[in-house]
């Protein structure tokens, strides 16, 4: 009989994986002994050396066989990828060669469980790694899945981190801008979510993408005061104040506040930082008109801000008042 040269045949897999020894079976729900041994190799904290040795000596067909076993079942793949050590080792396999990447992609296991993978603490890094190492065609398919699930992913504890990573690493300007547009368009919805607000924060706070910042500001227009009363919402509004493209929108909204609401905001635990930031940035950006409009709006509230979270605002107002008195004294001399 001719030798079996099929790299994915049962006999070839058995020969290629015969080196995996010494591990007690753990994945009792997986009937194949080889799958159990591979599971232990991938997920055991003691298996790092053996995994490194195998991947450094395996040829392409053997690496493909390993990928074949890992992706033989969606639940099995998810169990490995969601393990701390399993995630790291799958990431090592991704990018090891174009052929292995092509096999991982062809099995569709990452895409079949895309939402579950992107919202898992460890498996999410497998998907992130795939978006980095895959070629452009495969990467664009991954981006389309990210776009489809973006809002749902953003509202999960680990998903918001994964989405930020993809946004930061995305090397295609078109898809990156489309994803930023999704974040900007639904900025209000995300800003009021316990996890979604982090996506808005990171991409207003750290990327300094002026186009996105402007669109976020437009989405949040009329809601900045409400957000400023909240811890994470106030962070978002402060960063909008730091950008020239959005600063004016926020200050105008503060100026439209009635006196009582502005007073409560300036005295509140988080809102006081927003009002103080507005005073500082209008000076720094040489928007004297907005600065003095805000000072005049706040001046009648000065005595109410003392001995509260707004004491620093009161100090700024006192300095302005002294400067005005000094100016008047000079004018009479």
pLDDT digits (tens, 9 = 90+) for 274-311: 999 999 999 999 999 999 999 999 999 999 999 899 99
Alpha-carbon separation of residue 254 from 2, 219, 226, 324 (angstroms)? 82, 16, 11, 23
51 belongs to a structural domain = no
Q: Which domain holds residue 320?
A: 221-324
256 belongs to a structural domain = yes
73 belongs to a structural domain = no
**Tens digits of per-residue pLDDT, 205-261?**
888 889 999 999 999 999 999 999 999 999 999 999 999 999 999 999 999 999 899
305 belongs to a structural domain = yes
307 belongs to a structural domain = yes
CA 138 – CA 117 distance, rounded (Å):
17
Sign of the torsion formed by the C-alpha atoms of 232, 235, 237 and 243 = negative
Six token digits for residue 130: 């795939």
22 belongs to a structural domain = no
**Tens digits of per-residue pLDDT, 104-139?**
999 888 999 999 999 999 999 999 999 999 999 999
50 belongs to a structural domain = no
pTM of the predicted protein model: 0.81
302 belongs to a structural domain = yes
Domain tally, the chain: 1
CA 301 – CA 309 distance, rounded (Å):
13
CA 266 – CA 203 distance, rounded (Å):
26
């Amino acid at each position: 009989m001719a030798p079996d040269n099929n790299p994915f045949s049962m006999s070839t897999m058995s020969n290629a994986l015969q080196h995996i020894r010494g591990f007690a079976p753990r994945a009792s729900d997986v009937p194949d002994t080889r799958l159990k041994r591979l599971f232990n190799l991938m997920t055991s904290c003691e298996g790092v050396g053996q995994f490194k040795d195998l991947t450094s000596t395996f040829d392409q067909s053997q690496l493909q066989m390993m990928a074949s076993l890992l992706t033989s079942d969606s639940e099995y793949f998810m169990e490995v990828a969601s393990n701390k050590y399993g995630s790291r080792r799958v990431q090592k396999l991704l990018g090891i060669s174009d052929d292995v990447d092509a096999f991982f992609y062809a099995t569709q296991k990452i895409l079949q469980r895309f939402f579950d993978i992107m919202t898992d603490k460890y498996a999410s890094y497998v998907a992130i790694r795939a978006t980095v190492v895959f070629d452009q065609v495969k990467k664009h398919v991954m981006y389309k899945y990210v776009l489809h699930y973006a809002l749902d992913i953003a509202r999960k504890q680990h998903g918001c981190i994964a989405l930020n990573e993809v946004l930061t690493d995305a090397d295609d300007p078109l898809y990156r801008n489309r994803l930023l547009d999704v974040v900007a368009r639904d900025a209000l919805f995300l800003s009021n979510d316990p996890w979604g607000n982090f996506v808005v924060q990171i991409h207003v706070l750290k990327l300094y993408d002026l186009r996105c910042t402007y669109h976020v500001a437009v989405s949040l227009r009329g809601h900045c005061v409400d957000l400023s009363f909240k811890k994470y919402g106030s962070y978002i509004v402060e960063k909008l104040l730091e950008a020239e493209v959005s600063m004016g929108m926020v200050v105008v909204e503060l100026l439209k506040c009635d006196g009582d609401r502005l007073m409560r905001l300036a005295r509140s635990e988080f809102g006081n930082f927003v009002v103080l930031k507005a005073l500082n940035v209008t000076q720094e950006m040489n928007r004297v008109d907005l600065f003095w409009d805000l000072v005049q709006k706040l001046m009648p509230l000065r005595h109410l801000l003392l001995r509260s979270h707004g004491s620093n605002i009161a100090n700024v107002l006192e300095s302005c008042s002294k400067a005005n008195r000094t100016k008047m004294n000079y004018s009479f001399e």
